[in-house]
Structure 1
Amino acid sequence: MKEEEQAAKEKEGLRRLPVLPWMRSPIDVALFNDCPLDSVPCLDSRLKEVLQNMGMSTLFPIQVAAWHETIGPGSFERDLCINSPTGSGKTLAYALPIVQALSSHVVRRLRALVVLPTRDLALQVKEVFDLIAPPVGLSVGLAVGQSSIANEISEIIERPNLDMGMCYDPGYSPPELQSAVDILVATPGRLMDHINSTLGFTLEHLCYLVVDETDRLLRESYQSWLPTVLEMSNSKGGQSEFLSLPSTFGSLRTIRKCGVERGFKGKCYPRLVKLILSATLTQDPGKLAQLELHHPLLLTAGQKRYQFPETLQSYMLVCRPRQKPKYLVALLQSLGGEKTIVFTSSLESTHRLCALLNFFTDLQLNIKEYSGLQRQSVRSKTLKAFRKGDVQVLVSSDAMTRGMDVEGVKNVINYDMPPYIKTYIHRAGRTARAGQTGRCITLLQLGEMKRFKKILSKAGGESCPAYPLPSSSLELLDTAYTSALEKLQEAVESDKPKKRKIGQTKSLKLSNSPGLSTGFVR
């Protein structure tokens, strides 16, 4: 079912659902200030050096709050649920404490698992771990289906060195396969592939589970990955890895060699620590119950469920009927080549809008498409060019709305109005990240204004001024707009003989997409 339909059902259901008690008393991240690296308690000197080399001099409030509840006095005693605006630094908020905790006892076993809903997001998160984990002796793996499963296995499972002479000994027993990584970043589908078929892959040593973009991961079952992971990690058999010591408070706490756990009432193994994150964290008790959270603690930016970054400026641009592409072109011209993402409501709209924009020969912008219909290698290449600045404008489906971090994105344009506040927040979150300023401009028809303002009001954004676009800039595009539409129509006609039979439409290549039509110019 489409994400929008699921969000509508969730919205309707929340009207009747009680708020869980632990969600009524969150810790407000706004109470924390940026903390200079020199003042972060217990921060490993190697990690401090890595962060400085990354250009960081302080931790953001969400990172400080998470550190306080993990490495600080909280000591991973409770599971953390983090509900914070996009771009606030959530990835490092969990990556840094996990790496610090695991580095205290380096033993090559899979001890931390980070699960994300998409390949692109997983690749991005792995890049963060790749920067901070190796300097403290930790290895990071990736399981997303970007390469063959055989290649992934060779990266995440250690191949033992066999003594060929010993192999002929009747009593010889080959060494067991073991993990080659301490931390694995994975998508649910490929994770289940390894669980079901990869020899030597085990979660019995798992200490930390991160569920990033939780609301989306809980919305779909993804082959029942979550109950499988919880069952495998709860059936730990390696009791020799654990040590029980009396705490300073006189109660019994369990200490794993790679970190500290408390309050497990005589259990022979520590619990699996869970860190749950989203910019739009669900409040549905039924969904949250799947996570089996241990005395959860909610960290949130303010008391509102939906939050915009403080540095985000929201605008609306009301368009005349059947003139929206012309307004978009004029808007892109007015932005002067700033790095911009244009969001549409569907894969087909993404393809045909990008095609139309590239028929404006005088636009002098490098405009590329980014959608789920493209191969991973194509998307990765496009994203790399966008990051470098070789591409100024990405036309994207919602494949890029969640979690993607591209430095220097100044503008987000909603070509199609987002149907729900969640969609708006995740789209707008591609700009105004890490304290930088950014704009989110939504193109609207006159009849959409009332609904749009109602959507924004759910996050306290009732005020949304009109974007100042001179009418003269639109008039100058009349001839070019007519020409671009004619070229698009020619492309449609030439594309018709290449279309496949209806029963094969799911496998259509992007270049043969049936979406090349002019009906989207409403």
Structure 2
Amino acid sequence: MAEKGNVESVPVLPWMRSPVDVSLLEECQLHRLPFIDPRLKETLQKMGISSLFPVQVAVWKETIGPGSFERDLCINSPTGSGKTLAYALPIVQALSTRAVKYLRALVVLPTRDLALQVKDVFDAIAPSVGLSVGLAVGQSSIADEISNLVMRPKHQVCTCYDPEAPPPELQSAVDILVATPGRLMDHINSTKGFTLEHLCYLVVDETDRLLREAYQSWLPTVLRMTEADYQSISSSKPDCFIPLFGSLETIRKCGVERGFKGRCYPRLVKMVLSATLTRDPSKLAQLNLHHPLFLTAGKRRYRFPEKLESYKLICESKLKPIYLVSLLQNLGEEKSIVFTSSVESTHRLCTLLNFFSDLNIKIKEYSGLQRQSVRSKTLKAFRKGDVQVLVSSDAMTRGMDVEGVKNVINYDMPPYIKTYIHRAGRTARAGQSGRCFTLLRKEEVKRFKKLLQKADDNSCPVYSVPSSSLESLHSTYTSALERLKEVVESETAKKRKIGMKPSQVGDQKKQREK
């Protein structure tokens, strides 16, 4: 039975019943971290990182040193706990021990923005040990991506042209690839020289979302390609042994080399991660995990960041925008993200807020309806502090990490506890403090209480805004509504003029997220 909302009537897999509790571990200073490459340690120190968080320590212990990567890892850890570096660091160290140029690690994420963020983490550490990182997200043309991902070996470059000569062998230009599913499938299906036959590590980040949406069957395609290679080499050499510095002819016949001499043919290691990892056996079965080890933070399935404070703001239905404006006035210039229930609501709310000229706060929309270049520019301004408030829908901010976000505001109540956790997780990250405000109509209060109880959290006091502040905003609100109505009518007329149906707006959004 599939997992729906928050209700799970499915059995828990045996390996999930006895997890490793990473919350029992302490941070570890870099100079005490066993087996770390000195080059990586120096790079981390230059980045201002002097120690690893508990989840990073736990993953390191399971992946580096004796018995490394013997089991696939499933990591369920709160947002902001450092999951990206938890898998990036051991993968970079493991790949650096063998100087071969093949695509050996693949990290798959649901959105372009999140993929860009993860690539930045790899870019910060991988070059120090001689590794290169590629990106396949559809941000640029596929031709540009191909030129960055695939190269012709230098020794095969020839100035003369021989029409009967075999084409030069293509090879990977990167060791690690960060990709979204749609563009990954584009390269698998049509890019010459792009291959996963040397793949050693597969990371599925934001697993819940990637398993929930088909994305052109990317997962079964990747597993079929890698497992077919494994089975072919195993059948040709049952003892799965390659003599040290011996012939690799058997492997070449199977079309696989992977650059590993003198050791058993390596299996594909998988690492799956989420702050709200599914426990549905039918979904986890898609991953075909090898003796999985479950790492989680504490006994509770759903956990909030340790220093998060939650508040509810009870609103009169018709005056909800006024309550939001009053709250933003109280928060001043603190970095805040306002969440709505849809991209359409995001656009309209952001437009409305910008008609309150007395706010003196820079407010921008961050939506899947925008072009990637616009979103990137907005996010850059938000990171720098030039924009104080980001109005966004859920789809675009799962996993996003922006330093210094003090407040998360749920303008629309989240429908599920998972949604609340991912929204709230944009603040109080990496041990910092933060607040999450939820605007509620009176009829929503009871349902919201039940929602938080799913995470064993009853500490959500009422936050009040001054009544004088609400009254002073009434006239401005009336004027802002009129101006919003004019904008909406104008935009609707433009869409009709170019023949865009309302349903096409949603299709356009989905295409941009691939």
TM-score under structure 1 normalisation?
0.89
Cα distance in 1 for partners of 2:50, 2:121 equals 16
Q: Which residue of 1 aligns with 2:44?
A: 51
Q: Deviations over 1:473-505 (max 9, x none)?
A: 212212222221222223234445324177633
- 8 Å contact from structure 1 (residues 204, 235) kept in 2: no
- 8 Å contact from structure 1 (residues 242, 269) kept in 2: yes
- 8 Å contact from structure 2 (residues 150, 193) kept in 1: yes
Q: Which residue of 2 aligns with 1:31?
A: 24
| 1:468 Cα deviation after fit | 3.5
Q: Which residue of 1 aligns with 2:150?
A: 157
Q: Which residue of 2 aligns with 1:62?
A: 55
2:87 is the counterpart of 1:94? yes
Return 5+ residue gaps in structure 1 as ranges.
1-5, 246-254, 262-267, 511-522
- 8 Å contact from structure 1 (residues 204, 234) kept in 2: no
2:223 to 212, 217, 230: 230
- 8 Å contact from structure 1 (residues 343, 412) kept in 2: yes
Q: Which residue of 1 aligns with 2:304?
A: 308
> Structure 2 vs 1, CA of residues 435 and 466 (structure 1 numbering), >3 Å: closer, same or farther?
same
Q: Which residue of 1 aligns with 2:319?
A: 323
Q: Which residue of 1 aligns with 2:459?
A: 463
Does the residue aligned with 2:501 lie in a helix, a strand or coil?
helix
Task: Give the stretch that moved more between structures: 396-405 or 483-492.
Answer: 483-492
| 1:508 Cα deviation after fit | 5.4
> Structure 2 vs 1, CA of residues 497 and 191 (structure 1 numbering), >3 Å: closer, same or farther?
closer
2:194 is the counterpart of 1:201? yes
2:68 is the counterpart of 1:75? yes
- 8 Å contact from structure 1 (residues 88, 434) kept in 2: yes
Cα distance in 1 for partners of 2:35, 2:373 equals 41
Does the residue aligned with 2:316 lie in a helix, a strand or coil?
coil
Q: Which residue of 1 aligns with 2:171?
A: 178
- 8 Å contact from structure 1 (residues 104, 259) kept in 2: no
Q: Which residue of 1 aligns with 2:247?
A: none
- 8 Å contact from structure 2 (residues 108, 205) kept in 1: yes
Letter of the aligned partner of 2:227 in structure 1? N
Cα distance in 2 for partners of 1:74, 1:480 equals 65
2:384 is the counterpart of 1:384? no
Does the residue aligned with 2:348 lie in a helix, a strand or coil?
helix
> Structure 2 vs 1, CA of residues 437 and 156 (structure 1 numbering), >3 Å: closer, same or farther?
same
2:168 is the counterpart of 1:168? no
Letter of the aligned partner of 2:28 in structure 1? C
Q: Deviations over 1:190-222 (max 9, x none)?
A: 101100000011111000000001011111111
1:41 to 18, 34, 45: 34
2:337 is the counterpart of 1:341? yes
| 1:156 Cα deviation after fit | 0.3
Cα distance in 1 for partners of 2:188, 2:400 equals 27
Letter of the aligned partner of 2:162 in structure 1? Y
> Structure 2 vs 1, CA of residues 471 and 165 (structure 1 numbering), >3 Å: closer, same or farther?
closer
Return 5+ residue gaps in structure 2 as ranges.
245-256, 508-514
Does the residue aligned with 1:280 lie in a helix, a strand or coil?
coil
| 1:54 Cα deviation after fit | 1.0
> Structure 2 vs 1, CA of residues 508 and 9 (structure 1 numbering), >3 Å: closer, same or farther?
closer
TM-score under structure 2 normalisation?
0.90
> Structure 2 vs 1, CA of residues 49 and 243 (structure 1 numbering), >3 Å: closer, same or farther?
farther
| 1:59 Cα deviation after fit | 0.2
Cα distance in 1 for partners of 2:261, 2:367 equals 41
Identity of aligned residues (%): 73
Q: Which residue of 2 aligns with 1:249?
A: none
Q: Deviations over 1:295-319 (max 9, x none)?
A: 0000000011111011111000001
Cα distance in 2 for partners of 1:274, 1:259 equals 22
1:99-498 aligned at under 5 Å gives the runs 99-161=92-154, 162-164=156-158, 167-168=161-162, 172-236=165-229, 243=242, 269-498=265-494
Q: Which residue of 1 aligns with 2:249?
A: none
Q: Which residue of 1 aligns with 2:15?
A: 22
Letter of the aligned partner of 1:489 in structure 2? K
2:23 is the counterpart of 1:9? no
| 1:258 Cα deviation after fit | 6.1
Letter of the aligned partner of 1:321 in structure 2? S
Q: Which residue of 2 aligns with 1:250?
A: none
Does the residue aligned with 1:442 lie in a helix, a strand or coil?
strand
Letter of the aligned partner of 1:422 in structure 2? K
Does the residue aligned with 1:362 lie in a helix, a strand or coil?
helix
- 8 Å contact from structure 1 (residues 102, 258) kept in 2: no
Cα distance in 1 for partners of 2:319, 2:407 equals 21
Does the residue aligned with 2:177 lie in a helix, a strand or coil?
strand
- 8 Å contact from structure 2 (residues 343, 369) kept in 1: yes
> Structure 2 vs 1, CA of residues 367 and 313 (structure 1 numbering), >3 Å: closer, same or farther?
same
> Structure 2 vs 1, CA of residues 348 and 102 (structure 1 numbering), >3 Å: closer, same or farther?
same
Cα distance in 1 for partners of 2:50, 2:261 equals 26
> Structure 2 vs 1, CA of residues 167 and 235 (structure 1 numbering), >3 Å: closer, same or farther?
farther
| 1:269 Cα deviation after fit | 2.4
Q: Deviations over 1:216-244 (max 9, x none)?
A: 11111111111110111123367999747
Cα distance in 1 for partners of 2:243, 2:291 equals 21
Does the residue aligned with 2:60 lie in a helix, a strand or coil?
helix
Cα distance in 2 for partners of 1:24, 1:269 equals 31
Q: Deviations over 1:157-200 (max 9, x none)?
A: 01344544554395x44431000000000011110110000001
Letter of the aligned partner of 2:364 in structure 1? K
Letter of the aligned partner of 2:472 in structure 1? L
Cα distance in 2 for partners of 1:366, 1:242 equals 62
2:501 is the counterpart of 1:504? yes
Letter of the aligned partner of 2:179 in structure 1? A
> Structure 2 vs 1, CA of residues 22 and 336 (structure 1 numbering), >3 Å: closer, same or farther?
same
Cα distance in 1 for partners of 2:202, 2:463 equals 43
| 1:459 Cα deviation after fit | 0.7
> Structure 2 vs 1, CA of residues 257 and 491 (structure 1 numbering), >3 Å: closer, same or farther?
closer
Paired residue total: 487
- 8 Å contact from structure 2 (residues 242, 261) kept in 1: no
Cα distance in 2 for partners of 1:383, 1:347 equals 16
- 8 Å contact from structure 1 (residues 111, 206) kept in 2: yes
| 1:355 Cα deviation after fit | 0.5
Does the residue aligned with 1:290 lie in a helix, a strand or coil?
helix
Does the residue aligned with 1:318 lie in a helix, a strand or coil?
strand
Cα distance in 2 for partners of 1:139, 1:154 equals 14
> Structure 2 vs 1, CA of residues 259 and 314 (structure 1 numbering), >3 Å: closer, same or farther?
farther
> Structure 2 vs 1, CA of residues 494 and 221 (structure 1 numbering), >3 Å: closer, same or farther?
closer
Cα distance in 1 for partners of 2:273, 2:132 equals 23
Cα distance in 2 for partners of 1:57, 1:137 equals 22
- 8 Å contact from structure 1 (residues 345, 416) kept in 2: yes
